[in-house]
Structure 1
Amino acid sequence: MVLSASGGLGASTFSALLARTLRDGRDCALVDADTAGGGLDILLGMESDLGVLLNAVAAPLGEVDGGALRRRLATWDGVGVLSSRPWIDPMPQDWEIAVAVFALAEAYDIVVVDAGRAGYAPGHAIALPLEGAAVILLVELSVLGTARAQACIEALTGSGSRMTPDGRHRLPRRRQGEAGTVSGDDIALVGVRPAAARTSARGVLDADAAAEYLGIDMLGTIRPDTRLCAAVLEGTGLLKPNRANAKALRAVASWLDSREREVAYEPQQR
């Protein structure tokens, strides 16, 4: 699940590029659960493709047939896409979106969810249930961006951060039975260099310093990509990312692989 701690950090673009990175060797789906934004199909340049929108997904009796839903999805670069358009149709309720995501999780190896901008109210960071999900949080590398990220992390975990004697924030692990929250182990950070800082590093925080303050690993840094940005603005779809951003995407994919192996290993230990 991809979240942005600040507006305008490109969570939709990052989600799509991550899904395309993960699709090698995997069956991958991409869900546009950004209830305040939407329009992922337009971002990808596939608004004319036939495919069901999240707006049209119904969950009678709280169930959705994952296989049937998969067959109705449009495809982008080998990735099944469930987009949404909040401005033309009412979006499903939160629980219906969650049911659709869970249904696709049964039909695909991995589901990337673009959850848009996270909120800051404890326990209400986003509409979807988070228990067991991997959360990728985009953090603007600025003083304000880091402050917003800290508030978002505290909302996601539901219990706030804890300061260790060395002055570093450390998030508590999720306690048994705490529904709807995640632990620090479930969250990974990706730094986003401010677009206004293309020609100067003034005001840009070091990624390692931001990670140390937030108490969570920073997997990589996304830098402004002029070619990719132009393609998005022109509505021609997403180009391949530049080398620096591709490296960050591979780092996230590697973290997800490691996390998946750990989750699979834990039940065997029990």
Structure 2
Amino acid sequence: MPVLLLTRSGPVHDAVVPLCAAAGVEVEVGGDPALCLATWSRAELVLVGVDLAEQVVALAPPRRPDVHVVGLSPADTVFRAAVAIGATSVVDLPDAAPWLVEALADVGERASPGRTVGVVGGAGGAGATTLACALAQWHALRAPTLLVDADPLGAGVDRLLGMEERPGVRWEGLADTAGRLGARALREGVPRRDHLGVLTWSGLQRRLDVPTARRILPSAARGHDLVVLDLARQDPCLGELVERCDDLLVVTPTTVPALAATARLVATLGREADAGLVVRPGALGDADAERVTGLPVVASVADQRGLSAAVDRGLGPLTGRGPLARAARSLLEAA
């Protein structure tokens, strides 16, 4: 049962049930809390009407997340009952109806967030964006995936994937919004092609709005099996974005200048756990790359024939069974 509403109040019922219907989620309405204890534990979201809050306190149901007390202009005394049952908030309807709509939008989504993988170039022109696109394309064949363009000065991941004409919200549009964004709303709002969604910019003047990113990334992880962040190596907020990643892939050619630049980047991040090197052909070997950077080599990607032509045709970098496809498979299946 997605939503449990405990109330005998007609006004509370009439305020909440239509919102559930509009969100497309099933709601069970119970007027006797004692008969709803089984559903209390199973429901994804529990809404306790102010009229039954004291009765719920007397029953002492097990503590659980996602419990809210709802009512029309609730009295101050109800806050004591809300604390007693472990409610997260007291929702004043109809003023707080938009907040409740957003909470309902996430009902039915995953209970735990999806995996977030960051990809950053250890040196300029390392091919990090190409790898990020390949990872997203490969996983999108299997499950909902979001590719987040966090490189304001890049070409745009939508262009590499041939999705620049797809309708949907971009960073600029999200920066103009406020409050919590539902996972489903984000997943359905960004430009998509089948299971693959992209979040990038629409104009030439771009700036990653950090407060917006803080709001969006948790929703992205709740609504997708995999979120891939294409990171900018010289962005001031790189460190914060990296901390939001479950895994970090640092892409570098195995040349002396590239490895020197990569070592400096790794030192500034201060993160070695869950981070690995993806190396491209150069004069040095994997052992040299690991010694210089302090990171393990987790994949090696050879040059892919016809890559530029595939991108120019709007197919994206993942074509056939080339080096990028093999690397994407090994990197995502290994975790």
| TM-score computed with the length of structure 2 as normaliser | 0.59
Is the contact made by 1:21 and 1:249 (CA closer than 8 Å) also made in structure 2?
Answer: yes
CA distance in 2 between counterparts of 1:244 and 1:92 reads 31
| 1:248 matches 2:331 | no
Deviates more, 1:135-144 or 1:4-13: 4-13
1:187 to 255, 275, 278: 275
Is the contact made by 2:303 and 2:323 (CA closer than 8 Å) also made in structure 1?
Answer: no
Q: Which has the larger radius of gyration?
A: 2
1:192 partner amino acid = R
The alpha-carbon deviation at position 251 of structure 1 amounts to 2.1
Identity %: 25
Question: Which residue of the partner structure matches residue 76 of structure 2?
Answer: none
Is the contact made by 1:15 and 1:112 (CA closer than 8 Å) also made in structure 2?
Answer: yes
Question: Which residue of the partner structure matches residue 167 of structure 2?
Answer: 50
Summarize the alignment of residues 50-199 of structure 1 with structure 2, pairs less than 5 Å apart.
50-58=167-175, 60-76=177-193, 78-85=195-202, 87-88=204-205, 90-116=206-232, 118-119=233-234, 125-126=238-239, 128=241, 130-131=243-244, 133-157=246-270, 183-193=271-281
| 1:32 matches 2:145 | no
The alpha-carbon deviation at position 114 of structure 1 amounts to 0.8
What is the total number of aligned residue pairs between the two structures?
Answer: 217
Structure 2, unaligned stretches of length 5 or more? 1-117
The alpha-carbon deviation at position 24 of structure 1 amounts to 4.4
| TM-score computed with the length of structure 1 as normaliser | 0.71
CA distance in 1 between counterparts of 2:136 and 2:264 reads 27
The alpha-carbon deviation at position 38 of structure 1 amounts to 4.6
RCO higher in 1 or 2 (8 Å CA, sep ≥ 6)?
1
The alpha-carbon deviation at position 61 of structure 1 amounts to 4.8
Q: For residues 78-127 of structure 1, give each alpha carbon's deviation from its aligned partner in whole angstroms, at most 9, with x where no partner exists.
A: 21111224515x435112123212211111122111113x1398xx5456
Structure 1, unaligned stretches of length 5 or more? 158-182, 195-203, 258-270
Alignment RMSD = 2.4
Is the contact made by 2:150 and 2:208 (CA closer than 8 Å) also made in structure 1?
Answer: no
CA 1:68–1:125: 2 relative to 1, 3 Å: closer
CA distance in 1 between counterparts of 2:124 and 2:276 reads 18
CA distance in 2 between counterparts of 1:62 and 1:146 reads 42
